């Protein structure tokens, strides 16, 4: 049998290396993680009255901006097709760190770091999904929700649209978050004051 040439061997090694790198990159891009470890970098606004919130329903991204500078960016979960998140220009007219759902289903469920922009519609902490899944509200990861709540003043303008200018840059580099595989915390915990004490520390239950 004819022995392989050096050129053939080097070509085979190079091809294997490329395939290996491609495989690693694919796995990295497709991987999902739960939201409780997500801690986005944030900047303190120079002028809090100039802070605005922008939400992209298509990319499921929220951006807190001051002028053209993004202070914080986070994945969000928006309303599903049967109950879409409303689009348009709004103001965040109510903020409540310790809020609970008042209607069924799941009355008493924590909606921590609530920021209301339309009656019965708000931005708040909630379990994250990689695709639209809410009844119209906008869910954020817990640590991001805490940071956004602290930075965004009452009365801040809010724009919700299909896309935002940062979707293809900052938004594209944000992780895919999926809390679906996590176990459900006990209802006794979710309905207790402890859930708010833990949220203030940026944690929940044993996640």
* Domain of residue 101, CATH code: 2.40.440.10
**Does 171 reside within a domain?**
yes
User: Burial level of 162, CB count in 10 A (0-12/13-18/19+)?
Assistant: exposed
DSSP bridge partners of 63: 54, 73
Asked, for residue 12, whether it belongs to a domain, the answer is no
Judge whether 169 lies within some domain.
Answer: yes
Q: How far is CA 145 from each of CA 54, 123, 175, 191, 202, rounded to the nearest angstrom?
A: 14, 8, 16, 19, 9
User: What span, in angstroms and rounded, lies between the C-alpha atoms of 28 and 19?
Assistant: 14
Q: Maximum Cα–Cα distance for the chain, whole Å?
A: 80
As a whole number, mean pLDDT of residues 72-86 equals 98
pLDDT at 62: 98
Query: What's the rounded Cα separation, in Å, for the pair 173 and 88?
Result: 25
**Minimum mean pLDDT range among 15-24, 46-55, 116-125, 155-164:** 15-24
What was the pLDDT predicted at 126? 97
Amino acid 71: pLDDT: 98
Show the domain range for 107.
43-200
| Mean pLDDT lowest among 20-34, 113-127, 141-155 | 20-34
Give a yes or no: residue 185 inside a domain: yes
Please give the DSSP secondary-structure letter assigned to residue 26: H
pTM: 0.84
Amino acid 103: pLDDT: 85
DSSP helix/strand/coil, 16:
helix
In this predicted structure, what is the pLDDT of residue 22? 32
Please report whether residue 33 resides in a domain: no
CB 204 within 8 A of CB 128: no
Least reliable range by pLDDT among 9-18, 129-138, 149-158:
9-18
Mean pLDDT of 124-153: 97
| 106 occurs within a structural domain | yes
Q: What is the pLDDT of residue 28?
A: 33
> Could you give the C-alpha distances from 30 to 33, 156, 158, in angstroms and in order?
10, 35, 31
pLDDT band at 184 (very low <50, low <70, confident <90, very high): very high
Number of domains in the chain: 1
What's the confidence (pLDDT) of residue 104?
84
Across the chain, what does the average pLDDT equal? 88
Residue 168 belongs to some domain of the structure:
yes
CB neighbourhood size of 34 (10 A): 16
Is 145 a domain residue?
yes
Per-residue pLDDT band for 31 (boundaries 50, 70, 90) equals low
Q: Answer for the pair 45, 71: CB distance below 8 angstroms, yes or no.
A: yes
């Amino acid at each position: 049998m004819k022995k392989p040439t050096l050129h053939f061997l080097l070509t085979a090694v190079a091809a294997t290396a490329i395939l290996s790198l491609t495989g690693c990159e694919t796995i990295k891009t497709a991987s999902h993680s739960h939201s409780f470890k997500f801690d986005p970098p944030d900047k303190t606004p120079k002028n809090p009255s100039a802070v605005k919130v922008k939400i992209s329903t298509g990319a499921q991204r929220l951006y807190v901006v001051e002028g053209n500078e993004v202070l914080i960016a986070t994945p969000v979960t928006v309303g599903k097709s049967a109950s879409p998140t409303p689009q348009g220009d709004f103001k965040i007219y109510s903020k409540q760190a310790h809020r609970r759902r008042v209607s069924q289903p799941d009355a008493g469920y924590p909606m921590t770091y609530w920021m209301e922009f339309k009656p019965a519609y708000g931005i708040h902490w909630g379990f994250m999904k990689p695709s639209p899944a809410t009844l119209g509200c906008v869910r954020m990861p817990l640590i991001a929700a805490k940071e956004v709540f602290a930075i965004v003043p009452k009365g801040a303008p809010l724009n919700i649209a299909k896309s935002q200018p940062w979707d293809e840059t900052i938004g594209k580099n944000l992780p895919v978050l999926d809390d679906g595989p996590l176990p459900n915390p006990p209802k006794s915990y979710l309905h207790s004051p402890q859930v708010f004490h833990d949220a203030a520390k940026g944690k929940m239950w044993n996640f």
